[in-house]
């Protein structure tokens, strides 16, 4: 998550006082290629008695033709500098493509009278969404063909896709710019034709009322924050849509949900630290939302429904969360009673009620697990075959059932879909994602522990090809460490192209993430944010000390807030890394967090702190990557951006690259690659995504030994 907005650039010779170096080279790139140099237009600002000069502030102006010209020059420079890598990148892309079953389909799941699934076709970039009646020899219906929908668009992303309870109408939304502002449409599935209108500026959530004609959808404000919930009746003018809720506090995002029991609709409001739930009867005609419990600062609660009971997962006097319950008519906090107390070594992540049982999703000592219970008097852990893995519930739309479905994966196990029988504990492998030519016995997965300076143990997940572990290996280390998000070990068939070339892959489970419980997150935010960066450095040093790699063989990678991580650790220890991949990096922290007009800034004050307060400003300034670029040597770096990115504005990586290029004293490669037709997630098609990844892998492989 994070940041957004404009960009501006020009070619100009700037003062060379900090730029005495020659043109960097990559592979056999032509020596005559000169890197673009951004002109300097000083903008001086002052806060808390501290004066700062930003020479590249002008890059924020996306409408300035010089900006676009500069980005295009950077892209041309990147293309020339990596021209000799094209053959390797093409080879890696073909390898990646060759491992996947290009014509394939997902395991079907039951919803109502239909089995729903997606299928892919060789040579086509996007999936086709289908269904069949849940009877023998039923005929396939194509709901949406994303390939046809994407025609004529450089970027395409499907947003919501929700079928009405009777299975007759499909609500779906699309984004063709990458700015995450979706157009909502409705399709009559009996005729296959869309209704003749669309609703603009919607976001990621939509729910159907049980009357099959009423939908509730969200809309975004100018800052791209979902803040309104509207009610729409099919076929009626959009102008008559009813605003049922508006969240005016800019820190809070709005999301719509429906209980698995189909009894209630939820309006979920949340900031980084506080939540509030409003609910409506899904069977009522034009219901008015009721607050479940008024918000309390720094308290989070999440609600689910089973029969005559609401269950609440909350951190009220429980850092790692606990489970409480209450009746349907008495939702206020004074009526809540404990059913599962807080545990110091286990965090409750979510609760999923079915008619006759519940699944608790939790993290125990850093590892996710699923637990079955009927009434919390006893609990049964669903055992998994490996000590370190990732798992989560998927596609469980049937309330009255004795079977659940979950996904399972690890660094060596491809993503698998599992059906689990609650009564018998029978585990049925529905499908393991096929990977052509892959033999998992050839690869080794390890869980290691580094020790931070304060004595905290930092988990590391590592995978490599068995035959290559003979002394230090080239290694790609990834990290994130923000928002309490867990970077769990997952399988990637594309990653095999690194592993088979002797490159190990590791994940640093650093503080600021959620891997080790809620306190793990709290110890890596606000005025403890530097723990995230020092943890990553400690992990890197540990891997070198234990002879897994060397600094000349170590590449690191992170995206978005993980890009902030890349920038911070590169400033702190540029000598420790050979190659840095910083994807859409949130690096201009001070300037962005001081500008409340930028989308997401106000909401993010609860993650990083508000620099309008002196203590947060000074701390943030001490680690912000853009502010801390210095006259010194930096590693080889590939930095990416998305021109339409609503989370991390393209100008953040562009300004950062411009400043580093002006100040760095080395001959290492520094490249900026901007996707001129995409946003935060990069390319949208599956082949286009693999091409971007192959480009990054080729960059790494040409530079690490």
pLDDT of residue 22: 36
DSSP-derived 3-state class of residue 311: strand
Question: How is residue 293 written in tokens?
Answer: 């419990």
Burial tier of 350 (Cβ tally within 10 Å: 0-12, 13-18, 19+): middle
Q: Cβ(116)–Cβ(140) under 8 Å?
A: no
pLDDT of residue 644: 86
Q: Cβ(211)–Cβ(187) under 8 Å?
A: no
Q: Packing angle between helix 65-81 and helix 651-663, nearest 10 degrees?
A: 60
Q: Cβ(81)–Cβ(23) under 8 Å?
A: no
Write the pLDDT tens digit of every residue in 297-337.
Answer: 999 999 999 999 999 999 999 999 999 999 999 999 999 99
Class of domain 300-434: mainly beta
Question: How is residue 315 written in tokens?
Answer: 């951190």
- Sequence-separated (6 or more) residues with CB below 8 Å from residue 391: 368, 369, 370, 384, 406, 407, 408, 409
pLDDT of residue 368: 97
Write the pLDDT tens digit of every residue in 477-498.
Answer: 999 999 999 999 999 999 999 9
Q: Cβ(482)–Cβ(564) under 8 Å?
A: yes
| Averaged pLDDT score across all residues of the chain | 93
DSSP 595-612: -TTSTTHHHHHHHH--TT
Distance CA(699)–CA(694), nearest Å, equals 9
**Which residue, 329, 283, 277, is CA-closest to 303?**
277
| DSSP H/E element including 244 | strand 242-246
Is residue 609 scored above 90 in pLDDT? yes
pLDDT band at 677 (very low <50, low <70, confident <90, very high): confident
Write the pLDDT tens digit of every residue in 405-434.
Answer: 999 999 999 999 999 999 999 999 999 999
**Which residue, 340, 338, 342, is CA-closest to 319?**
342
- Sequence-separated (6 or more) residues with CB below 8 Å from residue 259: 265, 266, 282, 304, 305
617: left (phi over 0), alpha (psi -120 to 50) or beta: alpha
In CATH terms, the superfamily for domain 153-299 is Prolyl oligopeptidase, N-terminal domain (2.130.10.120)
Strand partners, 380: 372
pLDDT of residue 652: 97
Strands 346-353 and 358-364: antiparallel
pLDDT of residue 647: 84
| DSSP H/E element including 464 | strand 457-465
Distance CA(158)–CA(532), nearest Å, equals 33
Question: How is residue 663 written in tokens?
Answer: 């100040």
39 CA to centre of own chain:
34
Distance CA(359)–CA(373), nearest Å, equals 6
Write the pLDDT tens digit of every residue in 193-212.
Answer: 999 999 999 999 999 999 99
Q: Cβ(265)–Cβ(209) under 8 Å?
A: yes
Burial tier of 526 (Cβ tally within 10 Å: 0-12, 13-18, 19+): middle
Is residue 114 scored above 90 in pLDDT? yes
pLDDT of residue 15: 28
| Dihedral angle computed from the Cα positions of residues 585, 587, 591 and 596, in that order, rounded to the nearest 10 degrees | 40
Q: Cβ(414)–Cβ(432) under 8 Å?
A: yes
Q: Where in the chain is the domain with CATH 2.130.10.120?
A: 153-299, 300-434
**Which residue, 159, 129, 160, 154, is CA-closest to 683?**
154
pLDDT of residue 676: 87
Q: Cβ(474)–Cβ(502) under 8 Å?
A: yes
Distance CA(113)–CA(509), nearest Å, equals 43
Residue 300 half-sphere exposure, CB side, CA atoms within 13 Å? Answer: 16
Question: How is residue 71 written in tokens?
Answer: 């980005």
Q: Cβ(366)–Cβ(329) under 8 Å?
A: no
pLDDT band at 681 (very low <50, low <70, confident <90, very high): low
643: left (phi over 0), alpha (psi -120 to 50) or beta: alpha
Please tell me which residue, 469 or 62, carries the higher pLDDT value: 62
E-strand stretches of 538-616: 554-559, 579-583
> Terminal CA-to-CA distance of the chain, rounded, Å?
33
Question: How is residue 426 written in tokens?
Answer: 């029978």
Catalytic residue among 560, 588, 662, 684: 560
The predicted model scores a pTM of 0.91
Structurally, at CATH architecture level, domain 43-97+438-587+631-701 sits in 3-Layer(aba) Sandwich (3.40)
Is residue 703 scored above 60 in pLDDT? yes
DSSP-derived 3-state class of residue 283: coil
| DSSP H/E element including 361 | strand 358-364
Q: Where in the chain is the domain with CATH 3.40.50.1820?
A: 43-97+438-587+631-701
Is residue 683 scored above 70 in pLDDT? no
- Sequence-separated (6 or more) residues with CB below 8 Å from residue 405: 109, 393, 394, 395, 396, 417, 418, 419, 420, 430
Is residue 24 scored above 60 in pLDDT? no
**Which residue, 352, 306, 303, is CA-closest to 331?**
303
**Which residue, 322, 266, 271, 310, is CA-closest to 291?**
266
Strand partners, 305: 310
Please, what is the Cα angle at 213 between 355 and 259, to 5 degrees?
Answer: 20
317: left (phi over 0), alpha (psi -120 to 50) or beta: left
Is residue 11 scored above 50 in pLDDT? no
Residue 166 half-sphere exposure, CB side, CA atoms within 13 Å? Answer: 11
Residue 680 bears catalytic tag: yes
**Which residue, 180, 56, 12, is CA-closest to 651?**
56
Question: How is residue 329 written in tokens?
Answer: 């008519």
Strands 199-208 and 403-409: unpaired
Share of the chain residues as helix, strand and coil, in percent rounded to the nearest 5: 20, 35, 45
Catalytic residue among 8, 645, 662, 684: 645
Burial tier of 166 (Cβ tally within 10 Å: 0-12, 13-18, 19+): middle
Residue 454 bears catalytic tag: no
Distance CA(365)–CA(355), nearest Å, equals 30
The stretches of 6-154 forming alpha helices (DSSP H) are: 65-81, 86-99, 146-150
Burial tier of 445 (Cβ tally within 10 Å: 0-12, 13-18, 19+): buried
Is residue 33 scored above 60 in pLDDT? yes
Burial tier of 631 (Cβ tally within 10 Å: 0-12, 13-18, 19+): exposed
Distance CA(644)–CA(646), nearest Å, equals 6
Mean pLDDT of 355-369: 96
pLDDT of residue 32: 60
Residue 400 bears catalytic tag: no
DSSP-derived 3-state class of residue 659: helix
Distance CA(269)–CA(638), nearest Å, equals 37
Mean pLDDT of 24-34: 54
| DSSP H/E element including 363 | strand 358-364
């Amino acid at each position: 998550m994070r940041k957004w907005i404009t960009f501006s650039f020009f070619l100009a010779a700037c003062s060379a006082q900090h730029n005495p170096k020659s043109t960097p080279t990559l592979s056999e790139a032509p020596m005559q290629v000169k890197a673009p140099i951004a002109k300097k237009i000083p903008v001086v600002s002052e806060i808390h008695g501290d004066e700062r000069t930003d020479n590249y502030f002008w890059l924020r102006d996306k409408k300035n033709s010089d900006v676009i010209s500069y980005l295009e020059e950077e892209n041309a420079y990147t293309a020339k500098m990596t021209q000799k890598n094209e053959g390797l990148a093409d080879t890696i892309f073909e390898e990646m493509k060759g491992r996947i079953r290009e014509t394939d389909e997902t395991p079907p799941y039951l919803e109502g009278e239909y089995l729903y699934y997606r299928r892919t076709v060789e040579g086509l970039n996007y999936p086709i969404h289908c269904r069949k009646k849940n009877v023998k020899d039923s005929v396939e219906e194509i709901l949406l063909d994303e390939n046809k929908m994407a025609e004529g668009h450089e970027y395409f992303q499907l947003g919501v896709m929700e079928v009405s309870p009777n299975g007759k109408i499909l609500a779906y939304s699309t984004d063709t710019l990458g700015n995450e502002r979706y157009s909502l449409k409705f399709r009559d599935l009996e005729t296959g034709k869309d209704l003749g209108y669309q609703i603009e500026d919607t976001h990621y959530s939509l729910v159907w009322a049980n009357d099959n004609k009423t939908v509730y959808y969200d809309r975004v404000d100018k800052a791209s924050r979902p803040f309104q919930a509207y009610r729409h009746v099919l076929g009626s003018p959009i102008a008559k849509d009813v605003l049922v809720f508006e969240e005016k506090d800019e820190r809070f995002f709005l999301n719509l949900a429906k209980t698995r029991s189909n009894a209630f609709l939820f309006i979920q409001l949340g900031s980084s630290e506080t939540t509030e739930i409003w609910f409506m009867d899904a069977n009522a005609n034009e219901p008015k939302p009721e607050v479940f419990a008024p918000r309390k600062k720094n308290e989070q609660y999440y609600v689910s429904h089973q029969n005559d009971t609401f269950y609440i997962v909350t951190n009220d006097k429980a850092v790692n969360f606990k489970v409480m319950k209450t009746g349907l008519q008495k939702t206020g906090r004074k009526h809540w009673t404990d059913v599962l107390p807080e545990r110091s070594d286990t965090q409750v992540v979510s609760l999923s009620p079915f008619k006759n049982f519940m699944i608790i999703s939790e993290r125990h000592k850093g590892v996710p697990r699923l637990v079955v219970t009927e009434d919390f008097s006893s609990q049964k852990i669903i055992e998994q075959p490996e000590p370190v893995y990732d798992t989560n519930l998927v596609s469980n739309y049937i309330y009255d059932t004795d079977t659940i479905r979950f996904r399972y994966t690890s660094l060596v196990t491809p993503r698998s879909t599992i059906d689990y029988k609650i009564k018998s504990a029978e585990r049925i492998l529905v499908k393991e994602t096929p990977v052509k030519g892959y033999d998992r016995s050839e690869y080794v997965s390890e869980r290691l522990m580094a020790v931070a300076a304060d004595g905290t143990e930092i988990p590391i997940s590592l995978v490599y090809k068995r035959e290559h572990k003979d002394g230090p290996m080239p290694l790609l280390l990834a990290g994130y460490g923000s928002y309490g998000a867990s970077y769990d070990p997952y399988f990637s068939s594309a990653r095999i192209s690194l592993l088979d070339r002797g490159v190990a892959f590791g994940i640093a489970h650093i503080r600021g993430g959620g891997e080790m419980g809620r306190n793990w997150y709290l110890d890596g935010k606000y005025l403890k944010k530097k723990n995230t960066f020092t943890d990553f450095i400690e992990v890197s040093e540990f891997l070198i000390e234990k002879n897994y790699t060397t600094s000349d063989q170590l590449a690191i990678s992170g995206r978005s807030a993980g890009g902030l991580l890349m920038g911070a650790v590169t400033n702190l220890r540029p000598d420790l890394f050979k190659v840095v991949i910083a994807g859409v990096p949130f690096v201009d922290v001070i300037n962005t967090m001081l500008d409340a007009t930028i989308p997401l800034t106000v909401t993010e004050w609860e993650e990083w702190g508000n620099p309008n307060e002196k203590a947060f400003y000074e701390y943030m300034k001490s680690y912000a990557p853009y502010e801390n670029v210095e006259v010194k040597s930096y590693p080889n770096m590939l930095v990416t951006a998305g021109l339409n990115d609503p989370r991390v504005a393209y100008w953040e990586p562009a300004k950062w690259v411009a400043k580093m290029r002006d100040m760095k004293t080395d001959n290492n490669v520094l490249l900026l690659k901007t996707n001129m037709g995409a946003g935060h997630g990069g390319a949208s098609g599956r082949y286009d995504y693999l091409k971007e990844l192959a480009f990054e892998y080729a960059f790494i492989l040409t530079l690490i030994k």
